[in-house]
Amino acid sequence: MTRFSRLAAASAVIAALGLTAPAAAQSATAPSFDHLGASYIDFDADGDSIKGFGLDFEKTLSGNWFIGADYFNVSDSASETFMGETVSARVEMSLLNANVGYKFYTTDRFAAYASAGLSMVEAKVRFSSPDLSFNESDSETGWNAQIGIRSRITDSIELDAYARHVEIDDEDDQIIGVSGRFFINQNFSLGLGYTHINSDLSYISFTARYHF
C-alpha cells in the first residue's frame, strides 16, 4: 500500500544523509492463545534498517473463539550539515490490527485458525532544509483477514505461520509471517519471527511473552 511505499522512500532519504538512524483452560502442551508480549523490531525498508517495537495480545474466549491485537511502531531520523547548512529528516510508521478469531481445527498440540478485524496504519514524514521543509502525516483505517497454523512441536517449542490480507483505502498487501518460540517455563517464552510485507518491506522481531 502507498503508506508502506512512503516509508521506504523516506528511509532512503535518511540513508542518503549517511545515518541510520472467563477463559477455557488449555493444556501445557497446547498452542498458546493466551498471552501478552513485547517485541524489538528490525524493519528492512528497501535495504535500509529502521528500528522499533511491537506489542501483541491474545485471549481465549468460550469454545474455540479468541480475540487478538498486534501493534508495531518503527521510526528513524538523521541530520547532516553541508557547507554550514543543516538538512534533517524523520520517518515514523505504525500499524495496528485488532481481530476476532476462531480455531477451526485443533488437536492436543496443533491448531488451525482464522481471524478478521480492523486495521489502522499511520505514516509520518518530516524533512527540513534551508530551501525546503515539509511535515506530512497520513492515517487510514481498513480491515484485515488472516489464516494460520500453530503447533507445539515439543513441550518447549512452538511454531506459527500465517498469511494475512490487509486492505486499507482500496489498496492491499498480502503479509506472510513465520515465528518460533521457546518456552522457558509454562508462563514465559522468547521468540524470533520474520514478516514479509512485499519485495521492499519486511521485518524481524525478537519477542518476550507472558502466558496466562
Average pLDDT for the chain: 90
Q: Domains in the chain: how many in total?
A: 1
Give the torsion sign (CA, 175, 178, 184, 190): negative
Q: Where residue 38 sits, what CATH number does that domain have?
A: 2.40.160.20
Residues 96-118: pLDDT tens digits? Answer: 999 999 999 999 999 999 999 99
Q: Which of 37-51, 73-87, 176-190 shows the lowest mean pLDDT across its residues?
A: 73-87
What is the greatest pairwise CA distance in the chain? 67
Dig out the grid coordinates for 79 from the structure: 541530520
Range of the domain at 190: 2-211
How far is 204 from 72, CA to CA, in rounded Å? 12
With H, G, I as helix, E, B as strand and everything else as coil, classify residue 193: strand
Please say whether the beta carbons of 166 and 119 come within 8 A.
yes
Question: Does this model's pTM top 0.85?
Answer: no
CA angle at residue 161 from 199 to 144, to 5 degrees? 70
Where does the pLDDT of residue 130 fall: very low under 50, low under 70, confident under 90, or very high at 90 and above?
Answer: confident
Residues 53-89: pLDDT tens digits? Answer: 999 999 999 999 999 999 999 999 989 988 888 999 9
Where does the pLDDT of residue 21 fall: very low under 50, low under 70, confident under 90, or very high at 90 and above?
Answer: very low
Give the torsion sign (CA, 212, 194, 177, 117): positive
How far is 31 from 155, CA to CA, in rounded Å? 10
Please say whether the beta carbons of 23 and 35 come within 8 A.
no
